[in-house]
Amino acid sequence: MKIVVCVKQVPGTTEVSIDPETKRLIREGVSIEMNPFDTYALEQGILLKEKHGGELVVLSMGPKRAELTLREAIACGADRGVLLNGRPLGGSDTYATSYILSQGIKKIKDVNLVICGKQAVDGDTAQVGPGIAAHLGWPQVTYVSKFIESGESELKLERMHESGSDVSVVALPAVLTVLKDVNIPRIPTLKGRLNSRKVDITVWDETDLETDFEKIGLGGSPTRVVSTRKPDARDKHTIVLKGSASDSARELMKILKSRLEL
Amino acid sequence: MKLSELDSADNYNDVWVLGEVVEGKVHRVTLELLGKAKDLAEKRASSGSKVVCLLMGYQLDGLEKELFSHHADKVIKVDDESLKFFNDSIHASVVTRLVKKYKPEIMISGATSKGRSLMPLVAVKLETGLTADCTGLEIDEESGLLLQTRPAYGGNIIATIKCEDYRPQMSTVRQGVFKVLPEDVSGTGELISEFVLDEEKQTSFTIISEEGLDGETRVNLHDANVIVTGGRGVKSADGFKVIHDLADAVNGAVGATRATIDSGWISYSHQVGQTGLTVQPEVYIACGVSGQIQHLVGMQSSDFIIAINKDPDAPIMKLADVAIVGDLFEVVPEITKLLSN
């Protein structure tokens, strides 16, 4: 089985600022980590590879330093890493990003399964996984909470939704997005860490990927950020209670009572 | 679809709401979105824009009535056994075909797990843009474009996004962001039936069975009048006991912040905030919640907010109607005691 796990390098903090020109996140000078939701996708890829053999490739689009995230994934058990990097790829929205990643998957060749985290913690859109499925024309199974059975050519999966769950079978190739419930991600071994330093990371740019230039970067993105602002601080009069716990509780009851009478 | 001289923006009219049915009933978020769609369509009245609800599923008899009384001008119904379960592939093929046929200018859906799975598939198939989890939708008076507002980068920034050169303009919206407009029980409209094509049913993805949540795990945050939420200040799984006690005393529901869920103190289904649920109860009681923006975006529309925190400068204290400075383990049991009497 040839598996691709998509990982994203995200800011390790919520203190962020925005480039006034591109209106997109300034990633320089911010601490970074692997998107926490992607660690479950990675672990699932490792588990499936352990069971079925084959190859596990980690794929990311981002700046050069996203190599670090790919090496971290290799330290955990991925075989190799592919980074999609190039100035024209920058500023891509979820449509363009999923297009570029799907081109990377095509170029990796003979992929049976793509696994993504349910969403990235910075953008929070959950759109790239389904976008990849649509660009590849493969079925998707989102919000996977359990791998019930895994065979070489099909998977039996449980999905979660707000009002319950369902059980489904998908024939490969397919794209999955997984929830935290699927597994407990492992920590890299020392041997894995040493190995991850030696492995070469493949870097492909827009030309290597044979992308349609109309579909990448800021220019190829259907959506455009027109303005950004800080969230409103709600302008209101707050009653502050600072006394003992019992005084505050009693005061609160009075306020609630007068509110109910209104 | 990318606009061109041959296929200009003038060809696209109407505001579509992608309806959702759960256990045979119209999902509340669909009704909320119909209200918003009415507002958007009125602002686009110059182009003859109407409110259309696309409802897909199985055994949908009579559901259009509720959609008409919630201001849909037109309902396109696709009632087919192949749509009984949520099969992304079949649903996406049908929506894509119908959008190409009817050419709506705007299409919005609830940001439910279904909406968030289906809309990005459809957007890519249609080659257009999609904005997730919008907290505001307005029409730009000058350009007539849809201005989509959403919190980005963990809610630290509110971004306004547009999709100028592609149609339809697509957004998902969380439940609880917009309010359901008062019903017009005499409301009627046009009902159109569409079908699933045989080739659309051919897919390598099959759903075998479906199961609802049992009462134990169902946390009905959307229906609760009072929500009592525990944050990092609750300190442990045991610490949630005082939160549960207060919620029980007021017949409310228990909410939680992402930090407490990541720490494993309580299950994900309780999460309020950007990656959890958006709620607007009559009373929201935040206990030991610092008020990170990701949490605030999920609860700031609550009618009355009470915050209990040791730190008087915590962001939640500025948002609150009543801010109680103190140890939640002392204050919360006092409130529970007074309310129980």
pLDDT digits (tens, 9 = 90+) for B57-89: 999 999 999 999 999 999 999 999 999 999 999
- Residue B35 contacts by C-beta under 8 Å, 6 or more apart in sequence? B70, B71, B178, B179, B180, B181
pLDDT digits (tens, 9 = 90+) for A163-219: 789 999 999 999 999 998 899 999 999 999 999 999 999 999 999 999 999 999 999
Q: Are residues B281 and B314 part of one domain?
A: yes
Q: Are residues B193 and B301 part of one domain?
A: no
CA distance A218 to B248: 51
User: Which among A163, A170, A242 is the nearest to B212, CB-wise?
Assistant: A163
Q: Are residues B19 and B136 part of one domain?
A: yes
Nearest residue on chain B to A153, alpha-carbon basis: B204
| Separation in Å, CA of A115 to nearest CA in chain B | 15
CATH number at residue B164: 3.40.50.620
The answer to whether A140 contacts chain B (CB < 8 Å) is: yes
Q: Are residues B185 and B72 part of one domain?
A: yes
Q: Which amino acid is at B14?
A: D
Banded pLDDT at A28 (limits 50, 70, 90): low
Sheet holding B283-287, edge to edge: A239-241, B322-325, B304-309, B283-287, B226-230, B253-256
In a domain, B154, yes or no: yes
Q: Are residues B290 and B197 part of one domain?
A: no
pLDDT at B146 over 80: yes
In this structure, the strands spanning B205-212 and B136-139 are: unpaired
Among A105-109, A178-182, B118-122, B284-288, which is the least confidently predicted range?
Answer: A178-182
CB A105 within 8 A of CB A111: yes
pLDDT digits (tens, 9 = 90+) for A31-70: 789 999 999 999 999 999 999 999 999 999 999 999 999 9
Class of domain A2-215: alpha beta
In a domain, B2, yes or no: no
User: Which among B274, B319, B322 is the nearest to A124, CB-wise?
Assistant: B274
Q: Are residues B288 and B178 part of one domain?
A: no
Q: Are residues B174 and B101 part of one domain?
A: yes
Nearest residue on chain B to A135, alpha-carbon basis: B124
* DSSP-derived secondary structure letter, A200: P
CB interface of A with B, residues 170-229, below 8 Å: 170-171, 174, 180, 221-229
CA distance B340 to A253: 12
The answer to whether A103 contacts chain B (CB < 8 Å) is: no
Q: Is the four-CA dihedral A13, A31, B158, B262 of positive or negative sign?
A: negative
In a domain, B166, yes or no: yes
Q: Are residues B130 and B33 part of one domain?
A: yes
Domain with B175, as residue range(s), is 9-201
Q: How many domains does chain B have?
A: 2
pLDDT digits (tens, 9 = 90+) for B196-241: 999 999 999 999 998 876 544 456 787 788 999 999 999 999 999 9
CATH number at residue B316: 3.40.50.1220
Flag if B124 and A95 touch (Cβ within 8 Å): yes
Instruction: Please give the ipTM for the structure prediction.
Output: 0.86
| Separation in Å, CA of A95 to nearest CA in chain B | 6
CB A249 within 8 A of CB A242: no
Comparing CA positions, the residue from A2, A255, A246, A240 lying closest to residue A114 is: A2
In a domain, B181, yes or no: yes
pLDDT at A86 over 50: yes
Q: Are residues B230 and B152 part of one domain?
A: no
CA distance B128 to B126: 6
CA distance B315 to B155: 14
- Which residues of chain A neighbour B207 with C-beta distances below 8 Å? 166-168
Q: Where are the domains of chain A?
A: 2-215
Q: Are residues B22 and B166 part of one domain?
A: yes
Flag if A239 and B208 touch (Cβ within 8 Å): no
Tell me the whole-structure pTM to 2 decimals.
Answer: 0.83
Q: Are residues B272 and B194 part of one domain?
A: no
